[in-house]
Structure 1
Amino acid sequence: MLLLVLGTRGGPMRLKILLALSRRPMNANQLSKELNVDYKTVRHHLEVLERNGLVERVGEGYGAIYLVNDLLRRNWDLVEEAARYLGHDSLAR
């Protein structure tokens, strides 16, 4: 998990997505608006997070909802550690 957030160029954006999804499940369009980021950028990062087992997708297509999975919630301290390292003060759960 830390490698996906701290060890890559896209890590800070993936952290923002995880923090947003920890507050409430959202689809890619909602995340795009919430984070003020291009929809395609959000989709790319969601695919990376899903492929690596950090988020789950419920549904298909445009309206699919994403949420932080149970394994990541149980290990949320890793997300908090990454957020502190990157200077994020919003550690919502």
Structure 2
Amino acid sequence: MASVRRLKKNVASVLGELVDTIIIWNFIREDNDQASESIVQDIYEVYDNFLLKINNPTENKGAFYKQLQKDFEKEVNRIVTKINDLK
């Protein structure tokens, strides 16, 4: 159970850092554009989706959580790419 709690904290922490990055980026640019707002919305959707998955594992929990961590890394990389493409 401790690893599930750690996974939830990791998801919240990483996605929170991404939202913070976008907020700082908006302060530097001194405007809010639709691209950054859509990325924030995407981050919240990923957060909700992963918490739902974490709370509803399949029968083989070990393999399920390992695959979930890989999927989370892919989603984070996708979001980071979107953030890096902001202009």
Q: TM-score, normalised by structure 1?
A: 0.25
Bigger relative contact order, structure 1 or 2, given CA contacts below 8 A and separation 6+? Answer: 2
Q: TM-score, normalised by structure 2?
A: 0.26
Higher strand share: 1
